[in-house]
């Protein structure tokens, strides 16, 4: 049993490969070859669609009867249904970089405080009003649960000012996007009826496990659909008429059908037993087997594969080797192979540590993108030049260092993350073509994360990720240059010697990374100072390559328009994570009128 | 004879303890542990979490994870086991016995039905094939039986899901019963009970079919071989000379003697059927004990894996044990030989 999650099973990873293979794999593949298609097309949403009795059905990977609804308890928490039953505080439209209202109607972040305003017509599913006290409870519990917001504030600084307003006193200056990014995954899901006692226990003993031990049998949320019942195969939620979203919801039920595995999910939407797939990597050949009524909706994930180098390694600790590898590998081909020939992986353009490669918006942060090294790939002349300058030479088609030691390494990757494995196969091929001996090692998930990355076994090079899902450049730059992960997973130093920005031949200067990132976190995101600082850090990233970012993932959601109408890309609302859970709220996923 | 029973009982107990001990240590020798598995899950689900946060959550979740030396853990486990305590699932946070008691009836339901069906079909066809030895019927069915018996049951499962589930939509492709169905088993509610059992049977049909098709082939071939051997025995000639009817000879003389050796195999198969459920239950997303075995394996949930493993071991050992103890009762020749031997 497990909880559903952001990158779980139906996204980047396809776990339990053997059993999935023997599961519906063959059946799904075979089934895709059959069927006729006279599918209806999408229709324009007018905004005055009548209420219907229709049911929208989507998958869940948690057995309905085993579900529990405490998001702080990872066992059997149904993530996707949680996004329907509970409201997020804010929703983030990735393509516009805009935060929009959720349980919060408004917010303001100043130098020393963040003021959060709860929607004034917010109602819990048990009929009680959701107020500022409820938000305070949520924030307090989150702080006791080590939520990242604890980087800026503490329990005693979070107080209700009035019925709908909460003030969060900030202990460090933090810009609005950094603050909002830190709360964007937060749900208003801790009603007094279930969590008052838990909060009291945490106040008495912050080390108490009362929160993680609690398993709520039924959820009390504020979302547009409320829990009705669970059956063997389905969770049934029904429209909550007192929801502040209710006016825009025109279908009666939102059901979640238990579907365990990608192949079953694909088959389910082919066969029409579900109306949507929330988020699932699907290659073009599989998409080709879907009925025409199934629409793909893409969202940038702001997350993707990189190659992490062990900076304590004899060879990878040397910048020239990392740069040579970056020049030798063609990221476009790697990304294309990783996506099975589709467009669900955007190759990283110029590696700067800034996300936004799906639409080149990463370059918008740079005044002079051309001033950064592009590392275009398959540039073996430049790669050879770099290695030779570092004392390497080519012997019998293989690079050796000044001691005659072959430049060789193992590249580890989690075995069940098929797309990563595909990417790394191409990556290795390019390096082998260039004369660097590489060996791809696929590892069990738990061994890979528990021992190779975060344990004592370590690695020479490994598939990792260069952004942590957040968009503002501070987050990805901090992740790569200054995080605990950077220092412990790939042993990145706390300071680096780099030439001045835009002058690769200039005299190197030592840059202490932590103070640079700390300075950025407090700067107004729209200010020139923040932009300059971001560019300086991007330069360091580009020049030193703490990791080699390879690709950026694009989430794929699928909706059948057989009985529903849905907004399509590029509507900004479709770029909210898990659009199947957000679009109904804003009237952009509505039922067609019944016959 | 008493000593025979005693020795068999002792053998069974020693087998269970040995297998349990081996499993206990082998599971812990697997690469990765519950903390690693949980860390992997957290990272996949929450890429925004810092390493410190992940450490904290792993620690909170697994604060019950014993850090005592392995031999101490083993002693504690055995001590708990002797008191009927299978431990608590690390991943689920509920007692393993609760998970097993909820899942086991479903596995028993499907596997026992599948086993009985395959046995009945297998011995029926096997006997007919033996009687028609050398005929087209015999040759054809022999080839078919070998073919069926050679295919892994999960391949039959995939094909049946595809054809009967997805293409013809005759059967559900997963789950134990319909969402709308209220699980009801009670003498006072016969209609609801029948409806529920019918629905459960409908959901289990493809799983049962997958096991049955494969296993029936094996039973048929064995029965055919045994029957042909019996048909060549002198006492059948005597029976015919005595003027006994062919029907009586077929059922009382041939059938009974040919099926006797299969009795032991059937009892052993009961145990192995539980083990065989592991992959089939995954294929059909059928939450029985086999399904939870894989769940436990993925999460390196030692108590859950041990609990399911123990149930399967006990089932196999019990099957062999009962076969040992009772074979003499249904076949007095074995009893005599056993007695003589002792």
The residues spanned by each domain of chain A are 17-75+223-300+555-591, 88-213, 305-549
Average pLDDT over residues A11-39: 45
CB within 8 Å: A232 and B181:
yes
Per the omega criterion (within 30 degrees of 0), is the bond before A570 cis? yes
The pLDDT, as a whole number, for residue B224 is: 92
The pLDDT, as a whole number, for residue B328 is: 76
Give the domain A305-549 fold.
Dipeptide-binding Protein; domain 3 (3.10.105)
Residue A185: pLDDT over 90: no
Number of neighbours of residue A192 by Cβ within 10 angstroms: 17
Q: Which residue has the higher pLDDT, B277 or A414?
A: A414
Go through A515-553 and write b for each residue having 16 or more CB atoms within 10 A of its CB, e for each that does not: ebbeebbbbebeeeebbebbbbbbbbbbbbbbbbbbbbb
ipTM of this model?
0.74
Please count the residue pairs, one from chain A and one from chain B, whose beta carbons lie less than 8 angstroms apart.
Answer: 187
Tokens of residue B238, six digits: 């005597």
Residue A271: pLDDT over 50: yes
Instruction: Give Cα separations from A466 to A316, B268, B334 (angstroms).
Output: 17, 54, 71
Range in A128-137, A191-200, B257-266 the model is least confident about: B257-266
Q: Which residue has the higher pLDDT, A28 or A232?
A: A232
CB within 8 Å: B175 and A258:
yes
* A-chain residues near B175 (CB < 8 A): 232-233, 258
Average pLDDT over residues B49-69: 68
Is residue B126 domain-resident? yes
The model's pLDDT over A299-354, given as tens digits with 9 standing for 90+, comes to 998 889 999 999 999 999 999 999 999 999 999 999 999 988 888 899 999 999 99
Beta strands (DSSP E) in A231-341 are 234-239, 253-258, 276-277, 294-300, 305-309
Residue B58: pLDDT over 70: yes
The model's pLDDT over A154-163, given as tens digits with 9 standing for 90+, comes to 999 999 999 9
The model's pLDDT over A458-482, given as tens digits with 9 standing for 90+, comes to 999 999 999 877 888 999 999 999 9
CB within 8 Å: A31 and B39:
no
Q: Which residue has the higher pLDDT, A193 or B3?
A: A193
The pLDDT, as a whole number, for residue B341 is: 44
Is residue B25 domain-resident? no
Residue A498: pLDDT over 70: yes
The pLDDT, as a whole number, for residue A540 is: 97
The pLDDT, as a whole number, for residue B199 is: 92
The rounded Cα A589 to chain-centroid distance in angstroms is 22
The pLDDT, as a whole number, for residue A35 is: 47
Is residue B67 domain-resident? no
* A-chain residues near B56 (CB < 8 A): 146
* B-chain residues near A488 (CB < 8 A): 51
The pLDDT, as a whole number, for residue B65 is: 53
Go through A278-293 and write b for each residue having 16 or more CB atoms within 10 A of its CB, e for each that does not: bbbbbbeebbebbbeb
The model's pLDDT over B179-218, given as tens digits with 9 standing for 90+, comes to 777 888 888 888 889 999 999 999 999 999 999 999 999 9
* A-chain residues near B151 (CB < 8 A): none
One DSSP character per residue, B102-163 reads: HHHHHHHHHHHHHHHHHHHHHHHHHHHHHHTTTSHHHHHHHHHHHHHHHS-HHHHHHHHIII
What domain range is B171 assigned to? Answer: 104-177+204-341
Of the pLDDT bands very low, low, confident and very high (cuts 50, 70, 90), residue A580 is very high
Instruction: Give Cα separations from A94 to A169, A193, A302, A355, B138 (angstroms).
Output: 27, 34, 8, 11, 68
Residue A425 sits at the chain B interface (C-beta within 8 Å): no
Minimal-distance CA residue of chain A relative to B35: A450
Rounded to whole angstroms, the Cα distance separating B292 from B308 reads: 8
If we measure between CA atoms, which residue out of B106, B100, B101, B154 comes closest to residue B301?
Answer: B100
Is residue B188 domain-resident? no
Go through A209-220 and write b for each residue having 16 or more CB atoms within 10 A of its CB, e for each that does not: bbbbbbbbebbb
CATH of domain A17-75+223-300+555-591: 3.40.190.10
The pLDDT, as a whole number, for residue A1 is: 44
The pLDDT, as a whole number, for residue A9 is: 36
Of the pLDDT bands very low, low, confident and very high (cuts 50, 70, 90), residue B336 is low
Q: Which residue has the higher pLDDT, B227 or B66?
A: B227
The model's pLDDT over A392-404, given as tens digits with 9 standing for 90+, comes to 999 999 999 999 9
The correct CATH number of A88-213 out of 3.30.1360.70, 3.90.76.10, 3.30.70.380, 3.20.20.80 is 3.90.76.10
Number of neighbours of residue A117 by Cβ within 10 angstroms: 18
The pLDDT, as a whole number, for residue B338 is: 46
Identity of the residue in A2, A271, A444 whose CB atom sits nearest the CB atom of B32: A444
Q: CB of A245 within 8 A of CB of A585?
A: yes
Residue A76: pLDDT over 90: no
Query: What backbone phi and psi angles, to 5 degrees, belong to A328?
Result: -80, -25
If we measure between CA atoms, which residue out of A59, A50, A556 comes closest to residue A294?
Answer: A556
Rounded to whole angstroms, the Cα distance separating A252 from A52 reads: 6
Give the closest-approach CA distance of A468 to chain B in angstroms.
Answer: 5
Q: Using CB atoms and an 8 Å cut-off, which of residues 125-154 of chain A contact chain B? A: 146-148
The pLDDT, as a whole number, for residue A512 is: 96
Tokens of residue A361, six digits: 């918006």
The model's pLDDT over B119-170, given as tens digits with 9 standing for 90+, comes to 999 999 999 999 888 899 999 999 999 999 899 999 999 999 889 988 888 9
Residue A232 sits at the chain B interface (C-beta within 8 Å): yes
Rounded to whole angstroms, the Cα distance separating A195 from A214 reads: 9
* A-chain residues near B31 (CB < 8 A): 444, 446-447, 451
Q: Which residues, 6+ apart, have CB-to-CB distance to A213 below 8 Å?
A: A73, B93
Tokens of residue A213, six digits: 């031990």
The model's pLDDT over B275-322, given as tens digits with 9 standing for 90+, comes to 888 889 988 889 999 999 998 988 888 899 999 999 999 988 988 888
Number of domains in chain B: 1
Of the pLDDT bands very low, low, confident and very high (cuts 50, 70, 90), residue B251 is confident
Q: Could you give the dihedral angle defined by the CA atoms of residues A292, A297, A298 and A299, in that order, rounded to the nearest 10 degrees?
A: -170
Query: What backbone phi and psi angles, to 5 degrees, belong to A163?
Result: -60, -30
Number of neighbours of residue A242 by Cβ within 10 angstroms: 14
The model's pLDDT over A118-152, given as tens digits with 9 standing for 90+, comes to 999 999 999 999 999 999 999 999 999 888 888 89
Residue B113: pLDDT over 50: yes
Of the pLDDT bands very low, low, confident and very high (cuts 50, 70, 90), residue A234 is very high
Minimal-distance CA residue of chain B relative to A24: B158
Residue B93: pLDDT over 60: yes
Mutation site, B158, B182, B277, B301, interface A, largest A CB count within 10 A: B158
The pLDDT, as a whole number, for residue A4 is: 53
Residue A114: pLDDT over 70: yes
Mean pLDDT of chain A: 90
Q: Which residue has the higher pLDDT, B32 or A369?
A: A369
Average pLDDT over residues A29-54: 75
Query: What backbone phi and psi angles, to 5 degrees, belong to A181?
Result: -60, -35
Q: Could you give the dihedral angle defined by the CA atoms of residues A238, A240, A245 and A249, in that order, rounded to the nearest 10 degrees?
A: 40
CB within 8 Å: A31 and B63:
no
The pLDDT, as a whole number, for residue B126 is: 92
Task: Quickly count helices (H) and strands (E) in chain A.
Answer: 19, 27
């Amino acid at each position: 049993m497990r909880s559903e999650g952001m990158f779980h099973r139906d996204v980047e990873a396809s776990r339990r490969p053997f059993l999935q293979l023997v599961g519906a794999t063959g059946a799904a593949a075979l089934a895709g070859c059959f069927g006729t298609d006279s599918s209806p097309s999408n229709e324009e949403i007018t905004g005055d669609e009548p209420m219907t009795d229709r049911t929208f059905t989507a998958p869940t990977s948690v057995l309905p009867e085993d579900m529990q609804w405490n998001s702080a308890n990872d066992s059997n928490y149904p993530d996707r249904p949680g996004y329907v039953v509970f409201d997020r505080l804010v929703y983030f439209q990735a393509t516009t970089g805009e935060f929009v209202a959720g349980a919060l109607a408004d917010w303001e972040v100043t130098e020393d405080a963040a003021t959060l305003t709860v929607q004034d017509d917010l109602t819990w599913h048990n009929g009680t009003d959701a107020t500022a006290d409820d938000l305070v409870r949520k924030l307090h519990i989150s702080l006791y649960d080590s939520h990242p917001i604890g980087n800026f504030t503490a329990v005693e600084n979070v107080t209700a000012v009035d019925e709908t307003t909460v003030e969060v006193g900030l202990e460090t200056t933090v810009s609005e996007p950094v603050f909002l990014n830190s709360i964007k995954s937060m749900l208003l899901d801790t009603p007094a009826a279930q969590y008052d006692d838990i909060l009291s226990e945490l106040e008495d003993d912050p080390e108490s496990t009362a929160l993680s031990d609690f398993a709520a049998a039924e959820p009390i949320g504020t979302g547009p659909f409320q829990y009705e019942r669970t059956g063997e195969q389905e969770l049934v939620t029904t429209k909550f008429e007192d929801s502040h979203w209710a006016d825009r919801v025109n279908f009666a039920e939102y059901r979640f059908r238990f579907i365990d595995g990608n192949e079953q999910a694909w088959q389910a939407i082919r066969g029409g037993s579900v109306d949507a797939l929330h988020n699932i990597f699907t290659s073009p050949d599989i998409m080709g087997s879907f009925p025409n009524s199934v629409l793909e909706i893409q969202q940038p994930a702001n997350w993707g594969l990189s190659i992490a180098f062990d900076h304590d390694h004899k060879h990878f600790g040397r910048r020239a080797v990392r740069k040579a590898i970056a020049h030798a590998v063609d990221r476009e081909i790697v990304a294309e192979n990783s996506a099975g020939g589709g467009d669900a992986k955007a190759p990283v353009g110029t590696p700067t540590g800034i996300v936004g490669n799906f639409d080149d918006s990463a370059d918008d942060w740079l005044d002079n993108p051309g001033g950064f090294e592009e590392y275009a790939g398959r540039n073996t002349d430049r790669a050879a030049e770099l290695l030779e300058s570092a004392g390497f030479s080519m012997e019998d088609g293989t690079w050796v260092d000044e001691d005659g030691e072959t430049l060789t390494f193992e590249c580890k990757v989690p075995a069940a993350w098929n797309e990563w494995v595909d990417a790394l196969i191409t990556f290795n091929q390019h390096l082998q073509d260039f004369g660097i001996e590489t060996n791809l090692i696929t590892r069990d998930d738990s061994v890979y994360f528990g021992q190779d990355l975060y344990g004592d076994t370590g690695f020479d090079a490994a598939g990792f990720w260069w952004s942590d899902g957040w968009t503002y450049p501070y987050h990805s730059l901090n992740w790569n240059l200054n995080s605990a992960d950077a220092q412990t997973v790939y042993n990145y130093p706390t300071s680096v010697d780099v030439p001045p920005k835009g002058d690769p031949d200039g005299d190197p200067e030592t840059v202490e990374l932590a103070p640079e990132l700390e300075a950025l976190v407090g700067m107004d995101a729209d200010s020139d100072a923040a932009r300059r600082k971001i560019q300086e850090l991007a330069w360091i990233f580009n020049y030193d390559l703490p990791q080699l970012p390879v690709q950026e993932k694009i989430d794929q959601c699928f909706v059948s328009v057989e009985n529903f109408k849905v907004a399509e890309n590029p509507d900004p609302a479709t770029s909210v994570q898990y659009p199947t859970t957000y679009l109904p709220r804003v009237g952009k996923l509505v039922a067609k009128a019944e016959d | 004879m008493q000593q025979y029973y005693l020795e068999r009982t002792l053998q069974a107990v020693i087998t269970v303890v040995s297998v349990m001990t081996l499993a206990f240590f082998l599971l812990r020798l697997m690469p990765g542990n519950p903390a690693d598995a949980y860390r992997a899950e957290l990272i996949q689900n929450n890429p925004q979490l810092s390493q410190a946060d992940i450490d904290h959550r792993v620690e909170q979740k697994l604060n019950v994870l014993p850090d005592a030396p392995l031999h101490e853990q083993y002693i504690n486990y055995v001590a708990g086991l002797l008191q009927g305590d299978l431990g608590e699932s690390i991943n689920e946070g509920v007692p393993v016995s609760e998970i097993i008691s909820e899942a086991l009836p479903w596995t028993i339901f499907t596997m026992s039905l599948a086993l009985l069906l395959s046995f009945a079909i297998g011995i029926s066809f096997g006997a007919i094939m033996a009687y028609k030895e050398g005929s087209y019927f015999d040759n054809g069915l022999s080839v078919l039986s070998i073919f069926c018996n050679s295919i892994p049951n999960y391949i039959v499962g995939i094909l049946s899901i595809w054809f009967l589930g997805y293409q013809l939509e005759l059967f559900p492709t997963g789950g134990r019963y319909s969402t709308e169905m209220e699980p009801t088993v009670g003498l006072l509610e016969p209609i609801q009970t029948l409806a529920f059992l019918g629905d459960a049977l409908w959901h289990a049909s493809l799983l049962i079919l997958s096991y049955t098709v494969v296993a029936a082939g094996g039973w048929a071939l064995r029965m055919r071989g045994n029957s042909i051997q019996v048909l060549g025995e002198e006492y059948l000639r005597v029976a015919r000379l005595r003027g006994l009817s062919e029907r009586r000879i077929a059922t009382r003389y041939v059938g009974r003697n040919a099926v006797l050796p299969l009795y032991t195999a059937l009892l052993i198969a009961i145990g192995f059927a539980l083990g065989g459920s592991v992959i089939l239950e995954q294929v059909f997303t059928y939450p029985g004990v086999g399904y939870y075995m894989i769940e436990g394996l993925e999460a390196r949930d030692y108590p859950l894996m041990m609990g399911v493993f123990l149930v399967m071991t006990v089932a196999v050992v019990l099957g062999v044990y009962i076969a040992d103890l009772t074979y003499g009762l249904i076949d007095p020749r074995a009893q005599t030989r056993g007695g003589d031997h002792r």
